[in-house]
Structure 1
Amino acid sequence: MTAKTLGLPDDLHAYVVAHGSAPDPLIADLIAETLAALPAESGMQIAPEQAGFLTLFTRLLGVRRAVEVGTFTGLSSLSIARGMADDGLLTCFDISDEYTSIARRYWARAGLADRIELRLGPAADKLRELPAEPHVDLAFIDADKRGYSAYWAELVPRMRPGGVILVDNVLRHGRIIDPQSPDDEAMVAFNEQVLADERVESVLLPIADGLTIARRR
């Protein structure tokens, strides 16, 4: 037994990844291409253990309507789409045609292009194009950190009762308790915003760089 979550040295992390799901050549290819093509930006990709989590979580929730803010090269969107019902639709918001061109190729390779809609442009504006009524089963936020509060404000009213918002990077590699940048400061404020929001019940889990799971009441 342990009183707190374990840290993960490299060898233990490799074990977690290897035992989280069966080997997946498509995901391995996407991770490798992202690292090769965008070495400076590759850290924006979700951790490999999050990929399996997103697919299983989506499947357990019975998601048919999902939203992603921050697509990058597509690992998180691919993972969510894999867990959706056959008639599901994932709407992705991003500002980069360059990054998402990689994502589009992998969606096609996975046979999931018909389940994913990509909208390019500032997400805070583009989210307002979605129907205003509660209809979203699952949302995943993993974009510019200073935009999180605006994305949250647009998404929470659009979540159906029981719908879930997942928010990535909420621990900022541990800097959340000693902020070192404007992005860190923004995350501190955002985490307090979520905690005080009575429209949701939430937990913050130390998965990868911290993942908030918030369920719409």
Structure 2
Amino acid sequence: MADQNQSEAGRHQEVGHKSLLQSDALYQYILDTSVYPREPEPMKELREITAKHPWNIMTTSADEGQFLNMLLKLINAKNTMEIGVYTGYSLLATALALPEDGKILAMDINKENYELGLPVIQKAGVAHKITFKEGPALPVLDELVKDEKNHGSYDFIFVDADKDNYLNYHRRLIDLVKVGGVIGYDNTLWNGSVVAPPDAPLRKYVRYYRDFVLELNKALAVDPRIEICMLPVGDGVTLCRRIS
């Protein structure tokens, strides 16, 4: 019973929690000290709406949302893209960080989830920055790549979508992001499973996508067109800065 109580007490209260920190208390400290007190009201509202959704594990964690918001300001991003939107928590973090005339091309196969968060995004006064496209992203990216004027036109691109297509996305996004611009790939430590032994008991979907994540990580590490930084924020995020 003591063990059960301990595990109950150790669980994060956030729904959609993703942290690779070994200590739940330490992660809670980060949230309580520097994330929640500074979280904009619309983001808190959207996080609470998302918490009630059955797929809430798909959401971006609050600390990662804060990180993205600051990163976008640091690089003075204006023209951005997001592949994989869900209810729009990271999208809202981006929209709030961009200047009034900033733009986000947002893509997801499920418009219903996006529409769950849309009223909050509208209320925050940033919906005009977003162009949402429902459906697979690859055909949209192929169209963008065809037109030379789109090459090097994006300051920042965030990918949190189907892991089995991450490398396909990368092949296209590298042309679309500007030299000095940043692509962020989410979930690159994939539940910590990237270091799990072959016979480790993993959930089916974790095991299935792990090989794609490992393949992506290997490819990014040797891509001479980018500098990379892999961060243990959320479920692991790899930042790629295009250098050529």
State TM-score, norm by structure 2. 0.82
Q: CA deviation at 1:203?
A: 1.3
Higher relative contact order (CA 8 A, sep 6+): 2
Within a 5 Å distance, the mapping from 1:38-187 to structure 2 comes to 38-39=53-54, 41-130=55-144, 131=147, 132-178=150-196, 180=202, 181-187=207-213
Instruction: Provide runs of 4+ in structure 1 moved above 3 Å.
Output: none
The answer for the alignment partner of 1:215 in structure 2 is 241
Deviations 1:148-173 (A, max 9, x none): 11111111111111000111100011
Cα displacement string for residues 95-133 of structure 1 (whole angstroms, at most 9, x for unaligned residues)? 001111123222101100111110111011122233541
Equivalent residue, structure 1, for 2:223:
197
Tell me the CA shift for residue 147 of structure 1: 1.1
Distance 1:158 1:23, change over 3 A: closer
Preserved CA contact (<8 Å) 2:185 2:239: yes
Residue 208 of structure 1: how far off its partner (Å):
1.3
How far apart are 1:8 and its partner, in Å?
Answer: 4.6
- Secondary structure in 2 aligned to 1:17? helix
Bigger Rg over Cα: 2
SS of corresponding position for 2:158: strand
Q: Percent identity?
A: 30
Q: What secondary structure sits across from 1:46 in the alignment?
A: coil
Alpha carbons 1:20, 1:52 under 8 Å: kept: no
Change in Cα spacing, 1:173 to 1:9, as seen in structure 2 (3 Å) is same
Q: 1:28 aligns with which of 19, 44, 47?
A: 44
SS at match of 1:117: strand
Deviation at 1:19, TM superposition (A): 2.6
RMSD: 1.5
| Unmatched runs of 5 consecutive residues or more in structure 1 | 1-5
Aligned 8 A contact 2:189 2:236 in 1: yes
Task: Normalising by structure 1, report the TM-score.
Answer: 0.91
Distance 1:64 1:28 in 2: 24
Aligned residues: 210
- Report SS of the residue matched to 2:240: strand
AA partner of residue 207 (structure 1): V
Residue pair 2:42, 2:121 contacting (<8 A) in 1 also: no
Matched residues in 2 for 1:92 and 1:23: separation? 22
**What secondary structure, in the 3-state scheme, does the structure 1 residue paired with 2:21 have?**
coil
